[in-house]
Amino acid sequence: MMDVAAKLTSKGQVTIPKSVREALKLSEGDVVVFRIEGHRAVLARTPRLLELAGSIPVPSRARGAKWEDVVGATRTTRAPKRR
């Protein structure tokens, strides 16, 4: 665990210290998320979604399907199981 301080500017901006950027492997253009937990904020690097492409197998019958159709089919299939 690491505690690193940073100063808030008059515009509400904070520079992420180098040690934190290195620990999270952050670089220019990366997107981060602040999660509020009580009186604390947790900073996390968001995944690069394009790097995830191909990591989940998609059945050939589902490739190229419209998103609305996928959501509708999922709701139809899963709805009876909730009861």
Q: Supply the pLDDT for residue 22.
A: 94
Q: Supply the pLDDT for residue 80.
A: 63
Question: How far, in Å, CA of 31 to CA of 33, rounded?
Answer: 7
Q: Supply the pLDDT for residue 51.
A: 66
Q: Which residues pair with 33 in a beta bridge?
A: 44
Query: pLDDT per position in the chain (83 positions), as tens?
Result: 889 999 999 999 999 999 999 999 999 988 888 889 999 988 888 876 666 667 778 778 778 888 888 888 888 877 665 55
Q: Supply the pLDDT for residue 52.
A: 65
Given a contact cutoff of 8 angstroms between Cβ atoms, the answer to whether 25 and 45 are in contact is yes
